[in-house]
Amino acid sequence: PVNFLQELPSYRSIARKRTNIPSRDKQSGTLLKPTDSYSSQLEEGIAENLNSQSIRKYALNISEKRRLRDIQETQMKYLSEWDQWKRYSSKSWKRFIEKAREMTTHLELWRDDIRSIGGKFGTGIQSYFSFLRFLVLLNLVIFLIIFMLVLLPILLTEYKITNSSFVLIPAKDIDIQCTVYPISSSGLIYFYSYIIDLLSGTGFLEETCLFYGHYTIDGVKFQNFTYDLPLAYLLSTIAYLALSLLWIVKRSVEGFKINLIRSEEHFQSYCNKIFAGWDFCITNQSMANLKHSSLRYELRADLEEERIRQKIAERTSEETIRIYSLRLFLNCIVLAVLAACFYAIYRATIFSQEHMKKEIDKMIFGENLLILYLPSIVITLANFITPVIFARIIHYEDYSPGFEIRLTILRCVFMRLATICVLVFTLGSKITSCDNYSCELCGYNQKLYPCWETQVGQEMYKLMIFDFIIILAVTLFVDFPRKLLVTYCSSWKLMQCWGQQEFAIPDNVLGIVYGQTICWIGAFFSPLLPAIATVKFIIIFYVKEMSLLHTCRPSPRQFRASNSNFFFLLVLLIGLCLAVIPLTISMAHIPSSKACGPFTNSNTTWEVVPKTVSTFPSTLQSLVHGITSEAFAVPFFMIICLVMFYFIALAGAHKRVVVQLREQLSLESRDKRYLIQKLTEAQRD
């Protein structure tokens, strides 16, 4: 029957489209050697699609491609002048684009390192490192935006490079008490206070351009115009948030398109695992053995999961009720654990803030640092303990294995990122709560926080430094000793149980997304934070690479690259959304400090925008007012909803058509087989 199938016109036309060569020689299985009929058929093929693809895309070997190209060039002579010129210019344009692309790939950072990691440890871990590289670039671009919009005019004026001056508008209608900003300078400075200042952003670092308080300027007057610094500061914040969102969405669109097209269960495609399961770039035998065992594990686990899902579908209603009530109870426990951690962070922050205000210079060195870093320490401890608890709890909830992993990871992600929000909200509540008298004077607690944005910036700075120190410390004091112990004391039972380190992708990804969320929140309050984050991520890249190459063994359970990319970008997006919330609240609700910063003349940070809009010409003003009014927003929202419903209906209709076509196709195929069978029987008679 297969012989007949190969003679069918549909098979032949597809074969011709593929290679421009007639049917394959069955015995040798290789392509036919060129003959006269071959070249005439080639010409037919070319005449069919004269605007065809470039020669490279043909599935022929090089000598045949050469012949094809010669034929194409002789064909070109029969074209008109215009067509020839068009063909020539499109070819040279394509060549130019390729050369440009080649040159940009040389500029790609760490290309060889990441490739060699992929060859040795698989594409899942390789995608972790390319994710890290993406974050380095993102932070660099964010810092460039902030530099161009905010730092550059100030530096130009300070160092007298251009002929400009600062504009300082005196504050009006504000109580003089709000503008008092005592810079603490004690008499005797101990030598270690510099170290404390460096680690916590107080003292000599507080007035530098690292923090918000340095930018107490209302404008920079150049020769022809006045550069509005408060507006630039606000716009740089909005710009970097928007840029991060767009870049992340652009990166995730490729993976998303593929996932949306599929109708099957996400991550569960057997075709993908079998035809695209083997990483062809694996070069050493031990890695190949590992890949074999991971494929064995994965395929068996998938089949197992199917069986469990069938079992779940066959549950009796009694069992279902029991399982659901158990799950409800366990979720309450999870919520209780989360609430306990959040409360601990809340108390630690309040304790740290209260004691920081007291005589911190009179304390001993260690106690100093402990109080300053208490929130960070509590957050880190909570992030060590809760994944263990979650992993224990989920066993009792009786989900399928794939779902278990995903739910645990989701809970850990939420835990990690929500801790930062809790910290920021605690600070916010402390800033807006005044104990004896109400905050009517300045809108915030100006006795304790004369310049509250700088202090929030200092907390973010401390979190970032502490996170960096912890990552370095864990690598130095846990990973390397573990590897040494395993290598030299492998006879101990404990070492055999514990074993060598595996590179745990989810934990590492959460760590760097945590760092990036801190950077996003902190960049408003501390404009140099993205630069620090860039340097930090660069150092982390090399540290993690060394740790991976020298202390880790490849994990038997490997993440796939496609899963990984989607997961990383999803977590990053959650971090971005969680970072935007405290920023919007602090920009729109909490009054900006009147003692420092660019927003001393407006009530809140956001007020700069309405003020600027009121300086526009009146037509533009009314346009802006029109767009932001309800009369525009409500119909706009309704139109968007209608468009969305239209596309959903369209997608449903397409899906129905696809199902019908598939049924039709299988019916046709049955007919075809029946006819072939009849034909073979008729031939036999």
Interface with other proteins, residue 177, by CB under 8 A: no
The identity of residue 382, as a single letter, is A
Interface with other proteins, residue 48, by CB under 8 A: no
Cβ–Cβ under 8 Å, residues 500 and 551: yes
3-state secondary structure at position 604: strand
How far, in Å, CA of 645 to CA of 639, rounded?
A: 10
Cβ–Cβ under 8 Å, residues 192 and 110: no
Radius of gyration (C-alpha) of the chain in whole angstroms? 33
| Sole window of 152-160, 278-286, 366-374, 394-402 interacting with other proteins (rule: CB under 8 A) | 278-286
| Sole window of 180-188, 292-300, 512-520, 568-576 interacting with other proteins (rule: CB under 8 A) | 292-300
Distances (CA, A) of 462 to 132, 370, 378, 386: 22, 12, 13, 22
Interface with other proteins, residue 271, by CB under 8 A: yes
Cβ–Cβ under 8 Å, residues 515 and 537: yes
How far, in Å, CA of 451 to CA of 215, rounded?
A: 12
Q: Going residue by residue from 455 to 484, which x/- string records binding to other proteins, judged by CB under 8 A?
A: ------------------------------
The least distance separating other proteins from the CB of residue 3, rounded to whole angstroms, comes to 9
Of positions 50, 59, 180, 653, contacts other proteins by CB under 8 A = 59
**E strands present in 436-489:** none
Residue 569 or 608: the one with the smaller Cβ distance to other proteins is 569
The least distance separating other proteins from the CB of residue 56, rounded to whole angstroms, comes to 6
The least distance separating other proteins from the CB of residue 563, rounded to whole angstroms, comes to 9
Secondary structure of 43-82 in HEC code, one letter for each residue: HHHHHHCCCCCCHHHCCCCHHHHHHHHHHHHHHHCCCCHH
Residue 28 or 618: the one with the smaller Cβ distance to other proteins is 28
Of positions 322, 550, 673, 678, contacts other proteins by CB under 8 A = 673
3-state secondary structure at position 461: helix
Interface with other proteins, residue 668, by CB under 8 A: yes
Cβ–Cβ under 8 Å, residues 43 and 21: no
Residue 30 or 223: the one with the smaller Cβ distance to other proteins is 30
Extract the tokens encoding 70: 């010669």
How far, in Å, CA of 649 to CA of 556, rounded?
A: 44
Of positions 629, 662, 674, 677, contacts other proteins by CB under 8 A = 662
Interface with other proteins, residue 6, by CB under 8 A: yes
Residue 100 or 634: the one with the smaller Cβ distance to other proteins is 100
| Sole window of 362-370, 453-461, 577-585, 666-674 interacting with other proteins (rule: CB under 8 A) | 666-674
How far, in Å, CA of 548 to CA of 126, rounded?
A: 11
The count of residues interacting with other proteins (CB under 8 A) is 70
- Residues of this chain, 121-150, that bind other proteins according to CB under 8 A: 123
Distances (CA, A) of 209 to 30, 148, 410, 598: 70, 14, 38, 13
Extract the tokens encoding 419: 């801790």
Extract the tokens encoding 95: 């060549």
The least distance separating other proteins from the CB of residue 560, rounded to whole angstroms, comes to 6
b/e per residue 43-77 (b: at least 16 CB within 10 A)? eebeeeeeeeeeeeebebeeebeeebeeebeeeee
Interface with other proteins, residue 311, by CB under 8 A: no
3-state secondary structure at position 266: coil
Interface with other proteins, residue 680, by CB under 8 A: no
Interface with other proteins, residue 67, by CB under 8 A: no
Of positions 76, 665, 675, 679, contacts other proteins by CB under 8 A = 665
Residue 8 or 168: the one with the smaller Cβ distance to other proteins is 8
The least distance separating other proteins from the CB of residue 211, rounded to whole angstroms, comes to 43
Interface with other proteins, residue 494, by CB under 8 A: no
Interface with other proteins, residue 679, by CB under 8 A: no
Interface with other proteins, residue 440, by CB under 8 A: no
The least distance separating other proteins from the CB of residue 285, rounded to whole angstroms, comes to 5
Of positions 274, 335, 478, 653, contacts other proteins by CB under 8 A = 274
Neighbours of 191 (CB within 10 A): 6
Of positions 107, 261, 494, 631, contacts other proteins by CB under 8 A = 261
The identity of residue 255, as a single letter, is G
The least distance separating other proteins from the CB of residue 675, rounded to whole angstroms, comes to 13
| Sole window of 19-27, 407-415, 435-443, 645-653 interacting with other proteins (rule: CB under 8 A) | 19-27
Of positions 148, 161, 180, 276, contacts other proteins by CB under 8 A = 276
Q: Going residue by residue from 547 to 586, which x/- string records binding to other proteins, judged by CB under 8 A?
A: -------------xxx------------------------
How far, in Å, CA of 462 to CA of 196, rounded?
A: 11
Handedness of CA 668, 674, 677, 681 (dihedral sign): negative
Interface with other proteins, residue 7, by CB under 8 A: no
How far, in Å, CA of 518 to CA of 383, rounded?
A: 15
Stated as kind and residue range, the H or E segment containing 501 is strand 501-502
Interface with other proteins, residue 29, by CB under 8 A: yes
The least distance separating other proteins from the CB of residue 80, rounded to whole angstroms, comes to 24
3-state secondary structure at position 33: coil
Extract the tokens encoding 635: 């119909």
Angle between helices 401-431 and 285-313 (to 10 degrees): 90
- DSSP secondary structure string for all residues of 292-336: HHHHHHHHHHHHHHHHHHHHHHT--HHHHHHHHHHHHHHHHHHHH
Residue 514 half-sphere exposure toward CB, CA atoms < 13 A? 27
Extract the tokens encoding 102: 């080649």
Residue 550 or 662: the one with the smaller Cβ distance to other proteins is 662
Residue 63 or 184: the one with the smaller Cβ distance to other proteins is 63
Interface with other proteins, residue 400, by CB under 8 A: no
The least distance separating other proteins from the CB of residue 293, rounded to whole angstroms, comes to 8
Of positions 161, 281, 649, 653, contacts other proteins by CB under 8 A = 281
- Residues of this chain, 229-258, that bind other proteins according to CB under 8 A: 255, 258
Handedness of CA 406, 408, 410, 412 (dihedral sign): negative
Interface with other proteins, residue 272, by CB under 8 A: yes
Interface with other proteins, residue 612, by CB under 8 A: no
Interface with other proteins, residue 93, by CB under 8 A: no
Interface with other proteins, residue 632, by CB under 8 A: no
- At 251, phi and psi to the nearest 5? -70, -30
**E strands present in 182-242:** 219-221, 226-227
Interface with other proteins, residue 63, by CB under 8 A: yes
Stated as kind and residue range, the H or E segment containing 612 is helix 608-613
Interface with other proteins, residue 299, by CB under 8 A: yes
Interface with other proteins, residue 5, by CB under 8 A: yes
Interface residues toward other proteins, by CB under 8 A: 2, 5-6, 11, 14-15, 18-19, 24, 26, 28-30, 55-57, 59, 61-63, 65-66, 69, 102, 112, 115, 119, 123, 255, 258-259, 261-262, 264, 269-272, 274-285, 287-289, 292, 295-296, 299-300, 303, 560-562, 662, 665-666, 668-670, 672-673
